[in-house]
Chain A
Amino acid sequence: AQKITQTQPGMFVQEKEAVTLDCTYDTSDQSYGLFWYKQPSSGEMIFLIYQGSYDEQNATEGRYSLNFQKARKSANLVISASQLGDSAMYFCAMREGTGKSTFGDGTTLTVKP
């Protein structure tokens, strides 16, 4: 069975600094996708970044980058130059070829001014 582990229930970062949110996964599939979502207090789930299991380069989207280490089964999210609006819950998710996604329990990020 697929499993996503996010070991940091809460993280704090100073505005303008970088922060890494950890994610490890477990799967027996060879083909899968890894996703990060942001969920502000308003509740909507916002897609941030995607990494395919066969992608050789780490994914980047603006201030977000995904540190993909396949052998270690980790897919950490790096947010550079944190902003106050980055304060939210962040979820790591894995999607298998059938389309079904498994989510972690999330990390609450608080950006301090």
Chain B
Amino acid sequence: GAGVSQSPRYKVAKRGQDVALRCDPISGHVSLFWYQQALGQGPEFLTYFQNEAQLDKSGLPSDRFFAERPEGSVSTLKIQRTQQEDSAVYLCASSLGGGLREQFFGPGTRLTVL
């Protein structure tokens, strides 16, 4: 496809479960970003990859959050021992290069932790 895709689109987890969220960026896009968007708020930066290198993970809220992009394409955001405050939409974005180029967003994964 031409755009950024994310799966699953919806995920319901029981508190304490581990979840894995997948992002397929636009082909050829070097940079990949993860954001967390709470209801009624703007996206909050989580982490950033350039190719397979994780250049910034300052936004990850705790050590329960882990992201990887081992081959510089698909990325996975993993949340261990989910808690209710993790409930949010997780957005993935990609851009052609680094710097100030525009980012193109995927449809997001809505995570609900019960």
Contact = CB atoms under 8 A, between A and B. Distances in A.
B108 to A, nearest CB: 6
Contact of A99 (B35, B55, B106, B108): B55
B102 A45 contact: no
B42 A33 contact: no
B65 interface: no
Contacts of A62: none
Nearest to B59: A100
B64 to A, nearest CB: 21
Contact of B100 (A52, A103, A105): A52
A25 interface: no
B107 A101 contact: no
**Main secondary structure on A side of the interface with B:** strand
Nearest to A54: B100
B18 interface: no
A35 B101 CA distance: 10
Interface string A80-100: 000000000001010101111
A9 B44 CA distance: 18
Contact of A100 (B45, B89, B101): B45
Interface in B38-70: 40-45, 48, 50, 55-56, 58-59
7 contacts: A4-B42, A43-B107, A97-B100, A99-B31, A100-B45, A100-B58, A105-B41
